[in-house]
Structure 1
């Protein structure tokens, strides 16, 4: 099996597109957008486009007269910018060589291709949809409060599915909500919709749907802006979650009145008594979940069956999908189960489909440690005068490992807020050691007096310090099992999808290894209810056969994804030939689609709109996030030949996009850490 290797392309932004029609990249949509950047985007695009057009003509004439010293590179660079601004235009190199615009015949062929994109129904399937869309309930619409301009496009329905798709004699059913965001009106027959799942398992799809659709509409430099007009975005409500007011279902909730003993974080307390209490706690959770009648039917295989019922009810043959995180396993399982009903499937931030949940969980620890060292420690070490944490990565990492165990436990969830977490954590650690009997109010006052010494950082230092102090003094108390639906669905799906290792000695060895080598990682996933699971598990599909040489599946991945590591897709590529993989170099986020990389978004949108692969036949394309060309080897050449005005417009747009992406990433981490 060939190992993964980069494809030799000059510029990821200059996508290898065949002749197709020019699609306008800017329209007067989204009147609800605010801020001068969004309000003036049409003018920005038009102005940048005009600059690039003039530059293209200049390069053409100079190259013809052999005046330009880097004529070939200049043409490629301008072609990259043109394809970046107008990603669905005719091949730029052809346009340059012939000195003309878009071929009308190519435009006609592209229109014909788009109009014929709806595939025929499968054998014996009814072409009539059986879903009646109505206005949604208030609990549904609350998920769109941050994107109010989408609300008039949101509709709901109900879907009746078998309780057990694998037992036809069982006539019991479940009623699941369906939610869609309608495509922007074009007067044409809709394509088969895009099904969406944000992962989890147990993640609520609605917020992710709203964010994804909103980012597509605002991504005006990219072909992704065409997606809202091309597809309805649909979610099948994951079984086990509450019914959102559309049904009376309160969801799967693991509950028990058996008392669970409190325990310290096992990463910082490996005493025999604490480990015993941690193991007993996870056993009680397993017993509480398995006591619920719905639990055996909340698995990946059952959710795949729900997708198939929804596909048939909507009256379309191919299922198109975008899955993130666990959503990659869900939709890959659908491909394996219903291979002839698949349209285009985009898998973003991939689980290792060839490994069980245990192996996927264990892969997270080294990735989190690597991200801590390459992001947080490197940043702090590069500016010792600002952060005062040390001049090397080892110095900064040592600040965390030298904290008292109880302080480490409250700093760990906040580490990725930045070096400030280590700064204020070290101060709290030193203060507690100096004043062992200090109480919570006094320690907060000490934090408040300390932060003004760092004027640039004081707001974040105060916020993090108060959060750590509150967590430090939060008492450990015995309690009963009272898990909400999202947590319960996570446990049921994880434990019911693949078998887990029940040998507690194995997990203690893994804990020792993690404490020694990956001290920033969480051990909550090591001591899992699945270690005590007695119920049935799914029979995993043959993913190798199902996904080999599939031209209608594309994989996206961030290089430094802490939750689904890059090593996952490397391992899959060794056994699955023909994987079409796009990697965001340096990408630290979990979920790269719509997160600021025009290179990634262009490849993804071209695939979803036209079925074009980034790497026909399989391979890996690397997207570089910090230059329009995306090509490290020719970045300087591209920078020299791009007209200053166009380059300024490009840079302004990218800065705004990346600042927005950075804020979303930081806010998501904060919500996760403080949840």
Structure 2
């Protein structure tokens, strides 16, 4: 069976056994009806976007505030203000409508996301076979970012408390660390629940906010581009207002058929599969070169034998057998000399011959240099007070959105199983304040309602560990009218706009422009792994000022990944 057939057959298998029956579509949720409120527009400030975007976008960039109910189900109970960022269509004579955008998180910076997309798209060269359609997007659509409730600028959630220092709970299984881990989860929940706004920081309430802004803008349909948690937000909107959806691009999608907790629990398995694919399989294929044994278990054991410091530093960073060999060498040096400084470690990396084979030696040395600073990072996790906004949102939104484990003992059993089954997983993935929450405080609409919405296109990377492809396949099986693009052979989190693959970029842009979709429900975008995912900015002609566009794309890719890992489930250690 070829790799191409494997995904298609898996999708077909899921469809056969998991596709929903039309007769089982639930009744519409209790959707509140709040009168439309106007947006008060003004000039943007430094809090809305960096100043270089002001001069670049000029009068196209405007910011405003809108008053929304604190609780849409009880609009008489008070209001809060939300910030709205709008980048107007570049060519008013060609304007077709508005495209709402969200970068995920749920603590992602939606305003910066919108203006960065606008800057990249306006620099696309018309007629370019990969990115040319993005210039048309820039000309024809306003980009709209609604700063979600709970974020600075839109009634921020403040989580203030005293938090214990903890070590990675997947690596330090001592009773004392497990107890501190439970206390950390409880304190994080208590800190956020101390803010009276906390019951209303949910995807449900944010969806009602989005629809109120849509109406305030005079838009008859809701077009949307969301990444990661942004796909959860988009799916929730579409399942709540299916008749209002125009086109919806869900990039690196979460699995809306599942709970938030179930989505988070997918990441540990995906991280372990990544380690096995990049490290274990190449190592056992050449045992005489790497000396790690002839089976995956042996390579995993070589990793788990590393001291705690190196387990923490290298989790999620292994990308070859040489990575593991570098970690083992550095660990040995630090065990032999516990006072070894960073500078002394750097000197040993430079002067040591790591392997008799020159190319292997160079790769080990490069990996050691890449991870040097990380090895000397603090070994304990203690959130500052107040908790950073991204972390605060990752407490309130998941805990309010869907049911999950509410027993600390049961959760610790889950953690213990993960420690045994997925030794390459992030300990931060397991921080779950929802165990000590009172939630959920929202009613999630059934995905069958999203299946009745306008056009939906899903994009995903085959090896994404933050939103694993298994969730995307569940989504496509629940949405028989949707389409899906899979970027084979890559682990990028956030795809559209960030590659030079025509299968992703041209198809995604044409979908947003005209609703065109591939002829097949599932399209596998094959790429040559020897060719860079993005072209060299010094040689590409795809964008005007290509070097600057590459810097924007790099920052955007970093922000999308960092936005997820800022959460308590993604934090070091």
The correspondence for 2:480, drawn from 571, 577, 593, is 577
Deviating more after overlay: 446-455 vs 584-593: 446-455
Q: 1:141 maps to which residue? A: 49
Q: 2:81 maps to which residue? A: 175
CA deviation after TM superposition for structure 1 residue 660, in Å? 8.3
Q: Is the 8 A contact 1:447 1:465 kept in 2?
A: yes
Query: What SS is found at the alignment partner of 1:594?
Result: coil
Q: Quick check: 1:432 aligned with 2:432?
A: no
Deviating more after overlay: 277-286 vs 516-525: 516-525
The correspondence for 1:213, drawn from 118, 130, 143, is 118
The correspondence for 2:137, drawn from 215, 227, 231, is 227
CA deviation after TM superposition for structure 1 residue 154, in Å? 2.1
The correspondence for 2:245, drawn from 321, 336, 342, is 342
Q: 1:77 maps to which residue? A: none
Query: What SS is found at the alignment partner of 1:363?
Result: helix
Cα RMSD (Å)? 3.8
Query: What SS is found at the alignment partner of 2:427?
Result: coil
Number of residue pairs matched? 514
Q: 2:23 maps to which residue? A: none
Q: TM-score, normalised by structure 1?
A: 0.68
The correspondence for 1:566, drawn from 469, 475, 478, is 469
Query: What SS is found at the alignment partner of 2:75?
Result: coil
Q: Quick check: 1:264 aligned with 2:264?
A: no
Deviations 1:115-156 (A, max 9, x none): xxxxxxxx9999xx94454321122232x6489634553221
Q: 1:620 maps to which residue? A: 522
Larger Rg: 1
CA deviation after TM superposition for structure 1 residue 225, in Å? 3.1
The correspondence for 2:429, drawn from 492, 513, 525, is 525
Question: Hey, what's the Cα distance between the residues in 2 that align with 1:560 and 1:581?
Answer: 15
Q: 1:4 maps to which residue? A: 11
Taking a change above 3 Å as real, the CA distance of residues 477 and 215 of structure 1, as seen in their structure-2 partners, is closer
Question: Hey, what's the Cα distance between the residues in 1 that align with 2:555 and 2:385?
Answer: 33
Q: Quick check: 1:591 aligned with 2:491?
A: no
Query: What SS is found at the alignment partner of 2:96?
Result: coil
Which stretches in structure 1 are left out of the alignment for 5+ residues?
Answer: 7-122, 628-650
Deviations 1:531-552 (A, max 9, x none): 11024421110112x1225451
Query: What SS is found at the alignment partner of 1:587?
Result: coil
Q: Quick check: 1:199 aligned with 2:104?
A: yes
Taking a change above 3 Å as real, the CA distance of residues 575 and 179 of structure 1, as seen in their structure-2 partners, is closer
Query: What SS is found at the alignment partner of 1:429?
Result: helix
CA deviation after TM superposition for structure 1 residue 414, in Å? 3.6
Q: Is the 8 A contact 2:89 2:143 kept in 1?
A: yes
Q: Is the 8 A contact 2:252 2:460 kept in 1?
A: yes
Taking a change above 3 Å as real, the CA distance of residues 459 and 150 of structure 1, as seen in their structure-2 partners, is farther
Q: Is the 8 A contact 1:254 1:292 kept in 2?
A: yes
Q: Is the 8 A contact 1:5 1:620 kept in 2?
A: no
Q: 1:487 maps to which residue? A: 391
Q: Is the 8 A contact 2:228 2:253 kept in 1?
A: yes
Question: Hey, what's the Cα distance between the residues in 1 that align with 2:552 and 2:84?
Answer: 29
Taking a change above 3 Å as real, the CA distance of residues 607 and 131 of structure 1, as seen in their structure-2 partners, is same
Q: Quick check: 1:307 aligned with 2:210?
A: yes
Taking a change above 3 Å as real, the CA distance of residues 205 and 151 of structure 1, as seen in their structure-2 partners, is farther
CA deviation after TM superposition for structure 1 residue 311, in Å? 0.5
Deviations 1:230-289 (A, max 9, x none): 11111000111111xxx8x5x212102xx4332221111112221111001110111111
Q: Quick check: 1:351 aligned with 2:261?
A: no
Taking a change above 3 Å as real, the CA distance of residues 162 and 550 of structure 1, as seen in their structure-2 partners, is closer
Query: What SS is found at the alignment partner of 1:252?
Result: coil
CA deviation after TM superposition for structure 1 residue 173, in Å? 1.0
Deviations 1:432-472 (A, max 9, x none): 2223xx2253x53133232344667756633521321x22x
Q: Is the 8 A contact 2:54 2:61 kept in 1?
A: no
